[in-house]
Structures are given as structure tokens and as C-alpha cells.
Structure 1
Amino acid sequence: MFVDPLCSECWALEPIIKKLQLEYGQFFSLKHVLSSSLTRLNVNSKKMDALAQLWEKTASKTGMPCDGSLWFENSITAPYITSIAIKAAELQGRRAGIRFLRKIQEVLFLEKQNVTNIDVLVKCANSINLDTEEFLNDIHSESAAKAFQCDLKILSEMEVDEFPSLVFFNENIEDEGLKITGFYEYSVYVQILQEMLGAKTKPNPLPPLEIFLKIYKVAPSKEIAIVYDMTIADVEKKLKKWVLQQKVKAIHGKHGTYWKYIEKEE
């Protein structure tokens, strides 16, 4: 999966990826290849306006909350540092890197925080229980910089210049991969997966919604609706009851509501 951490359309693909992993995760492994789009390396007011409009368009089109006003309220500089930070997190394990990427997207798109700010990055690392001292050292290390350079090399070699993009490979590494750019209905990805497997496979049962929220901690209404094949109205009706039961906290944003799981004290 080729992803730019600051790309609103990459964020919009997240529910599809989650559902695919939950239902068919035993049939594939997912590798994230990061970009920091070169058009963003020098962000000026004209580009900020274009990016703000793109975020608003993504929110309207997909229903995933992201508020374009962030580009005017926060000084987003040197976006590549966010990608290097994700590579630094990956040095503590592949899963740690994936958790950190998700956290970055949450604080950026849901909480409108500046994820190019080192203090915000450290808070993200701390919140997912990374070793923050090691993380800080790794951000400034040659290892993280080299890992990011490696990703940029893969981007170039595979001629990926749009985000998100997914490239499916089968077991035979000699075979060419199948590249899908942008995002489509969930059924399209399932069909590709089944064609590559050469068989129709039954999806795994989804975990109960409360378990899903316990695992991921935070989820927008739209994400839950996609994963569980529900309408947003049904999601919000159900979770409003859970607010009263103090299972979740509702946080309302410009483009929809997201829900934060309330951890019970042992």
C-alpha cells in the first residue's frame, strides 16, 4: 500500500483496508510504502488553499471526517518529517509502525493537530506505548532516513505517483503485480483478492463492534458504517446509547462524529 500520511484520500481508504484485514487477513500481508509528496515539500499559501479544498472535497465525497481549515490554522512545514517519524516507529517493529501511522492519521484528520511538529509526534509515540527515548533518537538517525529513502526508491521503480495506490502480488514473485490507484467499493478489492487466490473464499466473521472499538480506540461513524455494513444513522443511534452507558465518548467535528472507546479501570 503506497500512502502519503498527509493525504486525505489515503485516510478515506482506511475503513476498506481494515475490513479487508478483518475478513480476509489470513490470505495476505500488507506492506506500507511511504511518500511525502514532493509538491508538499515547499508548502506556500496557494498550495495550502488547494490542499484545504482537496480535504473538503474528500470529506464530502467519502464521508470520512477531515477538515481543510487545518492548513490555515497550523503551520505545516517539512511534511517529510512525518514519514521519517513513521519509519522511526517501524524500527520498533512492523506493527508499531502501522499503529503509529494510524495514530498520526487520527490526530491529523480528527483532531486537526500539526503532525510535522516534533512534540505532537512524540505524544503520538507515547500514546501507543512506543519507547519514546528510542523513537526520538531514531527520528534523527541514519536508519530512519535510509528506510524512507528506500520507500522513495520503490515508488520511483514502480512508477507510483498517485495516492493511495495498492499493488497486489501473488506468491510467485516473478509475476507482475496488479496496481490499483485511488479507492473503490469494498467488493472490488475482495474480487481482486479472490482472483489472485484462484478461489472464492468465505470472509471471517467480524468481531463485535465493542471489541473493534476496544482494539482501535477511535473510529469515525463512516468507518464503522463501512466495516459493519450499517448506515451512519444506525451507527450513531447505537453508539449514542453506549455514550449513556459510558462505553464511548462522542466527539463532533465539521464533517461528522467520531467515537472514542472509554477504557475501563481494572
Structure 2
Amino acid sequence: MTAKYWTDTDRQAVEQKPLEIYLFVDPICPKCWALRPIMKKLMMEYEPYIRIKHVLSGTLSTLNKKRSALARNEEYPVTRSGMYCNGSLRTSNHPIDSPFIVSVAIKAAELQGKRAGNRFLRSLQEQLFIEQLDISDFRVLQSCANEANLDLDEFVQDIHSVTASKAFQCDVKIASEMDVEETPTLVFFNENIEDEGIKIDGVYPYEVYVQIVEEMLLEKPQKKELPTIDQFLERFKVVATPEVAIIYNLSIQEAEKELKKRMFQQKVEPINAKNETFWRHIPQNKFPTT
């Protein structure tokens, strides 16, 4: 079966998408990391109908509380999404020194475009939850910017700017106005209806989000076909076994079999984290590093 991709007509209609989802996230929140496969699938299947706006949530005090939890090597198994989250760092000698600068860095990346900001956020989460690095370290931030294909000089300049800091404070204000008390939180709005949005916090099975989308559209939308697993890997670069299982409705064993098959074909290479195996896409004509 051939996957259907966005046509030029789809792109021209981007401003006409009826649903807007405010996704309140904290880059160091394990539950936000666990929500990733669900949001990827929702966006791929309902792309013509929805647009997602990432909003950073958390005051400096709440960010510091989460930093302390990570430094204490606390673990967060998130069973509803199937993603196991280890929020700890390898040693207590490498805490996240400044969660505030991480948030400002994301807003600096967003100054280069929404997609650039999303790529940067994804890279940050991978460095924290897979590589278990201190993502407030400026060298790590620069590495993430490079991985996200940002203009590095512009990023370095913007991360120290008043503009990026004010943008983060604006996000915090939006979270306060919408009474967002935890992350992740999603608020669904229908642009064509004046009713209040629907707010849902925490991580739930994929079907819950689909039900909300369909109820808010007032009709059952036509879902797009998912890309092939190879196309998915090429697009997102690094994935976890449960992530593939969630998106393609496979068992963990079936997903692992599919990924190992691609490992033998040298299409992916494994990344062994503490409690999970991740898989990195290997670009064509590049040999694996491990």
C-alpha cells in the first residue's frame, strides 16, 4: 500500500486547518518525552486537519524541582504510552545546571522557524533521555543546534538575546492563563467554533486523542496513510522500539524484529540506553558507527 503524502493543495490549506493544539511541554519532563510517539502518529494521520503549537511551561521553581528529581536518579516508567522513561543522568556529577537556559535555547531555535525549533527540541530530548547528557551545557546546546541544521552563529547570538528570554516568559504567561499545572498538557481548539477548548493533561492511549480530534471536528475525518517504517526512520532519525510498536500497531516483539531486520540491512544502528534500545537511521552510503 502506498502512503499518501502532503500535496501542494494540502500545503496551501495550512492556514485553514480547523484544529489547533497547544502542546505544553517541559524539555526535561520524562512524560513529555513519552508522549512523543503518540503526537507523531496524530500529526501524521491528521496532518491536513491539525496544527500543533509547542508552548514551554514551568516557572524557574518548578524547573528546579524537576532538575532535582533527575539528579536523584528517579525513574519514570510510563506504561500508557509504552515508552519507559529513565530521567536520570549517568552520575550525580552531571546534573542539569540550568533548566532556564534550556528553555531559552528552545525559543532561540524557534526564531529560525517553527520546524527548526521542533527539530532542536527533539535533539535536546534525545541528548537527555538517550545519551543522558547535561543539556544545559553550552557545548551540548551547540551540538543540538548543529544536529537541527540551525544557523549556529545566529543561534549563539539569539540564545543571549532579550528576545528569546521574553519569548519564554510569554509561554509561561500563556500556561498560567490557561491554568496549566503539569506537563504534558494539550489544549484543543476548533478555529471555527467559539466554544472553549478541551484541556487534557498527562499521557493517555492514542485512541483518546483521536476521539477528541474527531469530536471537535464534528465529523469523522479521513486519516492519511502512515509512511512506511523505512520512511518513518528516515524522517525522525532516532526511534525507540515501543515507538514503532505504538505507531504501527505492532507488538514489541514484532517491532523489534522489524528493526533488527533493518539493522542487518545496515539501515539502522542500535543505541543502548539504560532501560531501552533506540535505533538511529543510517543515511545512504554511510556505514554504522558501532
Query: Percentage identity across aligned positions?
Result: 52
- Change in CA separation of 1:25 and 1:49 when aligned onto 2, cut-off 3 Å: closer
* Aligned-residue offset at 1:256: 1.4
The residue type paired with residue 130 of structure 1 is L
228, 234, 252: which one aligns with 1:232: 252
* Aligned-residue offset at 1:36: 3.8
* Aligned-residue offset at 1:201: 1.9
51, 58, 81: which one aligns with 2:77: 58
Please tell me whether the aligned partners of residues 104 and 165 of structure 2 are also in contact (alpha carbons under 8 angstroms). Answer: yes
Report matched runs for 1:87-98 at 5 Å: 87-98=107-118
**Could you list the per-position Cα deviations for residues 165-188 of structure 1 after superposition, in whole angstroms to 9, with x for gaps in the alignment?**
000000147421110011111111
28, 36, 49: which one aligns with 1:14: 36
Q: Which moved more, 1:36-45 or 1:12-21?
A: 36-45
- Change in CA separation of 1:61 and 1:255 when aligned onto 2, cut-off 3 Å: farther
Please tell me whether the aligned partners of residues 63 and 255 of structure 1 are also in contact (alpha carbons under 8 angstroms). Answer: no
Q: Could you tell me which residue of structure 2 aligns to residue 105 of structure 1?
A: 125
Please tell me whether the aligned partners of residues 29 and 66 of structure 2 are also in contact (alpha carbons under 8 angstroms). Answer: no
The residue type paired with residue 101 of structure 1 is L
Gaps of 5+ in 1: none
Aligned mates of 2:38, 2:132 — CA distance in 1: 22
Aligned mates of 2:98, 2:71 — CA distance in 1: 17
**Could you list the per-position Cα deviations for residues 65-109 of structure 1 after superposition, in whole angstroms to 9, with x for gaps in the alignment?**
433431724121120111110100000001101111111111111
- Change in CA separation of 1:59 and 1:166 when aligned onto 2, cut-off 3 Å: closer
Report matched runs for 1:98-247 at 5 Å: 98-172=118-192, 174-247=194-267
Aligned mates of 2:268, 2:171 — CA distance in 1: 37
- Change in CA separation of 1:60 and 1:170 when aligned onto 2, cut-off 3 Å: closer
TM-score, scaled relative to structure 1: 0.92
- Structure having the higher strand fraction is 2
- Structure having the higher helix fraction is 1
Please tell me whether the aligned partners of residues 81 and 205 of structure 2 are also in contact (alpha carbons under 8 angstroms). Answer: no
Gaps of 5+ in 2: 1-22
Please tell me whether the aligned partners of residues 76 and 86 of structure 2 are also in contact (alpha carbons under 8 angstroms). Answer: no
TM-score, scaled relative to structure 2: 0.85
Aligned mates of 2:58, 2:216 — CA distance in 1: 30
Please tell me whether the aligned partners of residues 83 and 148 of structure 1 are also in contact (alpha carbons under 8 angstroms). Answer: yes
Q: Which moved more, 1:57-66 or 1:195-204?
A: 57-66
